[in-house]
Amino acid sequence: MNLASKEKLHGESFNFGPSLSKEYSVLELVKSTSKFWQGTSWKKITVPKNLFFESGLLRLNCNKAKKFLNWKSILKFEELSKMVAVWYLNYYSNPKNINKITLLQIKKYQSLLEEKGSNWVKIL
């Protein structure tokens, strides 16, 4: 579906995220992402629970994209974390180039859609 051709959806925001068939913790995401971003470091700290509240599970609600666009993720967790790491690494090392990186990643995602035989409309 082409969002530009659907006036009702024009200008709407959508969340696109992983399938909820398996949930990953923030720590799992950090560990996976750090494999693709050399030189990163992290450490887990323990903070008294009464100091502040942090949800144990954070996730995007992608129901709107699924309902209106019939969208579902085709990326495996490791593919997703690699794309996130590459994007942020480029953002912090060369922010002027981030538009180019973003477009390259969109085109890569579109290539994966074609490889996996997904029914989609090219947006670029």
Share of the chain above pLDDT 90, in %: 27
Q: Would residue 51 count as lying in a domain?
A: yes
Q: Is residue 124 part of a domain?
A: no
**Model pTM score:** 0.71
In a domain, 62, yes or no: yes
Residue 4 in domain? no
> Which residues does 101 contact at the CB level (< 8 Å), separation at least 6?
86, 87, 90, 91
Task: Report residue 21 as tokens.
Answer: 């068939």
Residue 36 domain-assigned (yes or no)? yes
- Count of domains for the chain: 1
The phi and psi torsions of 77 (rounded to 5 degrees) equal: -55, -45
Its domain, for residue 51, covers 23-115
Residue 17 lies in a domain: no
28 falls within a domain? yes
pLDDT in tens, 56-92: 667 788 888 888 888 888 888 898 899 999 999 999 9
